[in-house]
Amino acid sequence: MFAKSPLAPETFPEIPAIAGVRVAGMAVGLKESGRRDLFVAELAKGSTIAGLLTRSACPSAPVDWCRRGLSGGRARAIVVNSGNANAFTGKAGDRTVTHTVSEAARLFKCPKKEVFVASTGVIGVPVGQDYISRQLPRLHQALSPNGWAEASQAIMTTDTFPKVAVRRARIGDTEVTLAGIAKGSGMIAPDMATMLSFVFTDAAIPAKVLQALLRRAGDRSFNCITVDSDTSTSDTLLLAATGQAKHPAVKSASGKLIAGFKEALESLLVDLATQVVKDGEGAQKFVTIDVKGAATDAAARRIGLAIGNSPLVKTAIAGGDANWGRIVMAVGKAGEKADRDRLSISFGGIAITRRGKRVPDYDESKVEQHLRGKSIDVAVDVGVGKGAARVWTCDLTHGYIEINADYRT
């Protein structure tokens, strides 16, 4: 496989046991490399679930299944394989899901609709209908509150490091834990940006409230990242709450009681989402784009993504070229209101243009120095309103071409 991304975090948190969650990750032969490729999570009785799924018009069979299941809001098991996306596999794909779900329901003694599935890997190659279901008893046996390292590896595809994050929060006087895993690392774009991510908490939160919290946090994290503007057929983010922690009843997604959890969830998802970007295929530089002065927050996000998706911006950053004219271009093409004659641009906090003109004492060498780093900051004020957003991306390098010009062989 490919060398570890130079942007990989130096240390990773260890995911602690979360009351009501047991996990396992194993190799079952879906990946030709023989690496781990099947992940199962067991959730305690009474667990609630929320999810965000790809908006692709050609979603995978597992995505279709999850969309139906989320309306029930309850979950007892999550089964995820890598190595094969089970996408564009027609009726055969549906049969694979049915067999997997039936076997999991039997093992976990729950209704089928409380089993959630996700798949990632090659598109268009059917998996044998009972290939995954036959492995489940083995994973069921191996379930452990401490199986997170194996779990995070089992969902990887072209990822060069496993993505994990942990947060703590208080609901009333009770400390709850949030922990999640994610995988990238190509075909990453809103909506939903990327990929697969599974987040677990021991908090007790009704499904509707959980969904509202996830939607909000997702819009500020996974829906603000892009690697290559390509939206996957399989994007799935699930958040399960086991309800094992004892705290005052949560009835709303707003208010003081849930404020700490809300903040921790957003922080956790931003952590995972930016790890996905840092492992973007071929990424050498991590880019944070702050847009303000847009007509609305949504407009700011679209402008940020136009910058973050622009191959010309991304190649310039890869080359350390302070070619800020390409930022002007990208703002212009975003399809949102912007005032060329009030546009301010800075790189690494160094002002380049202010209100539509290059600053008089602009010193390009300072910007070039910033561009030699691994973490690049771009800030843009488009000068028409109060909308703001932050978007994350990576540079576009030879590595991306190498990885993707011959992905399957």
Could you give the string, one character per residue 219-238, with x where binding to its own copies holds by CB under 8 A and - elsewhere?
---------xxxxxx-----
Q: Is 315 in the site for its own copies (CB under 8 A)?
A: yes
| b/e 29-44 (16+ beta carbons within 10 angstroms → b) | ebbeeeebbbbbbbbb
Q: Which of 194, 231, 274, 393 is catalytic?
A: 194
Q: Which residues 13-42 are close enough to bind its own copies by CB under 8 A?
A: none
Nearest Cα to 293, choosing from 327, 266, 331? 331
Q: Is 311 in the site for its own copies (CB under 8 A)?
A: yes
Number of H helices, E strands in the chain: 11, 16
In whole angstroms, the minimum distance from the beta carbon of 181 to its own copies comes to: 23
Strand ranges inside 30-173, DSSP E = 38-43, 48-53, 77-84, 115-122, 163-171
**Which CB sits closer to its own copies, 229 or 267?**
229
Q: Which residues 237-296 are close enough to bind its own copies by CB under 8 A?
A: none
Q: Give SS3 for 330.
A: helix
Helix (H) or strand (E) holding 90: helix 90-108
Told to judge if 242 belongs to the known catalytic residues of this protein, a careful annotator would answer no
| Interface pick for its own copies out of 203, 338, 378, 391 (rule CB under 8 A) | 338
| Interface pick for its own copies out of 169, 241, 272, 396 (rule CB under 8 A) | 396
Q: Is 65 in the site for its own copies (CB under 8 A)?
A: no
End-to-end, the C-alpha distance of the chain in Å comes to 12
Q: Which range binds its own copies by CB under 8 A, 30-38, 117-125, 177-185, 370-378?
A: 117-125
Q: Where are the alpha helices (DSSP H) in 114-224?
A: 136-142, 148-154, 207-219
Q: Give SS3 for 182.
A: strand
| b/e 289-314 (16+ beta carbons within 10 angstroms → b) | bbbbbbbebebbbbbbbbbbbbeebb
Q: Which range binds its own copies by CB under 8 A, 69-77, 198-206, 239-247, 312-320?
A: 312-320
Q: Which residues bind its own copies (CB under 8 A)?
A: 54, 56-59, 85, 87-88, 90, 122-124, 186-187, 189, 228-233, 309-312, 315-316, 318-321, 323-326, 328-338, 340-341, 343, 353, 356-358, 396-398, 400-401, 404-409
Catalytic site positions = 194
